[in-house]
Structure 1
């Protein structure tokens, strides 16, 4: 049953739940109403019995006739509205004319034996008719009277009330089911729109579709979340397409040059025409440089292709000053003619050591690459702020907003080696470490790169 219910559409389940809830409520109210009416009718019947026992004059005549030897019963005074009988202490009874004999119960005997003053209970006649009985002793005559009326008087009213409540309950449940279906259809209309949109996106891969999100309810929040998700997917898809296009463009140049050089070498071998030693040496050097450039570009692409989860993959406590010193040593090998000065104060951060070193190396590579011959590069680290200052041509102000974009290269630097991915990797790595990186023009010329990372001057106690 539960499986079948869960297999129904959501709107059908909501309609059934609403109808079931209304049915339970209506049933509870109907039962309470029937029970209340029953108690009210029984109370009214009890009061009428007590009133009859006091006001009907023929009760005394019945008592006198029961004491005669012939036990003659008097004629009924007025219309018969109750069954009357006198109960003797020995359990015998004297029934009034026109009345039905009611079986004497233990409570009636207790009243006749002066053990109780009165009793009110359900009883039954000799013919099996259900009655309500009121038995009491008349203080004037000393006789015990038992007055009863048929319960059918109230049972018929209760049956009619039950039938009426059943009809009303049925109409209410049907109306609740219809209302529940309407409410479910109306309330789930935005969900249907969302479902249609999701199916459209899955079928066509069209991420430009948006759902109207009016209001502040849960459906509107869900619609806005879906719109934000599709916008993020669309942006990611565009960035992916742009990355592939840019990567293809960047790879085309070195591959074309490499293929040309290799074809020259292969043609020389096939034709037997030797290439002059100097030209051959330059050709091989060019092939080696292009292979190095391709390897660096592929490495950068692999780095950027990793999922951007917002945090480093292998986080540990590392000394930023030590990583910076290692990067400086590598920079000195690439620019031996440059004057590189350092002032590195201890600073410990939580980061992926390999990724962070690669990012700092990229920053220093830019400083080395754009520094003039025998130029100077100043590197300082003070309370988590790493600054790298070169004395090169600098970056024009209109180009600064684009320096961290993938494959972006300044028009004045396109003749220099590089893929345009280095600073993108720097920005991504620093953001994963919770820091920030900026590039700006330095006073007096050159470029100033600033990397800020959160940390402490001493390693934490839990550091390895």
Structure 2
């Protein structure tokens, strides 16, 4: 398994703690390295300034006058000054004369170049025969009165800066280690504290999966991401609980609505079957009425099942692609079907052109439902007025109207007013109307007659335009042709 795969396999809190520790380790290492380099630079500069400020010329003057370059002497033959440094004289040929200190410095090419007058001074590092690393400053001098050019080398051990740097490195390493361990512990604590709401959310999800209890809620105080996630989860469970309740209510209402026609249908069929089994014929008129009742109940069942299938579709689902359709043509077709259902009624229509984006069959069914509702409640010889102006379709009947307290419920599934319970229907027609209008982006409303007279008025508002889009040629079937 690769390191990346092993890292992803760790728990989230462990990954967070590890990332925090790594981030702190990198930051501490960078700070420690920069600090060490800066201190080393400062110590080196300080040592260089110390070497350049050492007055070795006076100490070397006696040696120059005694000609130590011509007759070199051993260190123990000279009187060392209290300079806390090693000093020696070098000529252009590489000969050198020890002046003070504890060791003889090796002569380098740089020293000879200074002694020859090619350089005025130079700083460099050397290692003595005793294995001591030294920092050397070599400068040019002129002996008096001969005017001969020499070089004086002043050196101090690099241990003066190496020891403090070594101590600093160990201190930085110790502090970095403590910082990384502390950061890892703090990261683990922060991860556990920060992920506690996630643990609660995980527990709630596992509880719901195990018990299907959608009433569980988790605390959602605060405005951070975890609180937002908690609120989203609570909203999701509330929506699921509401959806389940609506589903259960739909099943209960559907069962209740199906029970009545099924019971009537079963009774009528049992009467017909008993007549056949016993050999007692039913009077022709009664038999005709029984068969008509069976046919009516079967038609009602088919209509109810079709309505249930329509409402069982999710709101986001669509049986076909949305197209630009001519709403006035669809309204005219629905009006023709309504005239067949209410031949004794008077229909007046004023339909202006209006084009909407929707499903032509679904829109026609919705308009048929709203017109059937007007036909059902219109008195014999009554009038139904239909108008389409500016995307607002109104259907006015002159029936008994709807009480104000019932208006908020007219678009609920299976809801039927007390005055309509004796009439045929399932209570789903207006629900289908509202659903279809919402799919087009419009609204549906049922209200009392605007002039205060008898009856009710349905108002359906559709977004659209009085002319079809120019990029889509309008077909003769009321639907904009596909490109």
Q: TM-score, normalised by structure 1?
A: 0.96
Distance 2:262 2:66 in 1: 135
| Aligned-partner SS, 1:104 | coil
Taking a change above 3 Å as real, the CA distance of residues 362 and 51 of structure 1, as seen in their structure-2 partners, is same
Match of 1:378 in 2: 385
Corresponding residue for residue 366 of structure 2: 359
User: What's the counterpart of residue 413 of structure 2?
Assistant: 406
* Contact kept in structure 2, 1:434 and 1:454, CA below 8 Å: yes
Contact 2:87–2:101 under 8 Å retained in 1: no
Return the offset for 1:65. 4.3
Contact 1:84 1:145 in 2 (8 A): yes
Partner of 1:287: 294
Distance 2:44 2:97 in 1: 26
3-state SS of 1:259 partner: helix
State which drifts further: 89-98 or 118-127: 89-98
Aligned residues: 463
Shift of 1:208: 1.3
Q: Is 1:137 aligned to residue 135 of structure 2?
A: no
Q: Structure 2 matches for 1:440-455, cutoff 5 A?
A: 440-442=447-449, 443-455=452-464
Asked whether 1:264 is paired with 2:271, we answer yes
Conserved 8 A contact 2:443-2:462 = yes
Mapping of residues 7-406 of structure 1, within 5 Å: 7-52=9-54, 54-55=55-56, 57-67=58-68, 70-73=71-74, 74-79=77-82, 81-96=84-99, 99-141=102-144, 142-309=149-316, 313-406=320-413
**Aligned partners of 1:385 and 1:453 also within 8 Å:** yes
**What is the TM-score with the length of structure 2 in the denominator?**
0.92
| Residue number in structure 1 paired with 2:466 | 457
How far off its partner does 1:98 sit? 5.2
Q: Secondary structure at the match of 1:143?
A: strand
Aligned Cα RMSD in Å?
1.8
Bigger Cα displacement from structure 2, 288-297 vs 301-310: 301-310
Shift of 1:83: 2.2
Residue 428 (structure 2) pairs with residue 421 (structure 1): yes
Post-superposition, which runs of at least 4 consecutive aligned residues in structure 1 deviate over 6 A? none
Instruction: Give secondary structure in 1 for the equivalent of 2:134.
Output: strand
Distance across 1 between alignment mates of 2:131 and 2:16: 50
Deviation per CA, 1:423-448: give whole Å up to 9, x if none. Answer: 00111111111111111121210111
Flag the 1:218–1:64 CA change in 2: closer, same or farther, 3 A. Answer: same
Where does structure 1 lack aligned partners over 5 or more consecutive residues? none
SS for the counterpart of 2:348 is strand
Q: Which structure 2 segments of 5+ residues have no match?
A: 473-480
Mapped contact 1:310–1:431 kept (Cα < 8 A): no
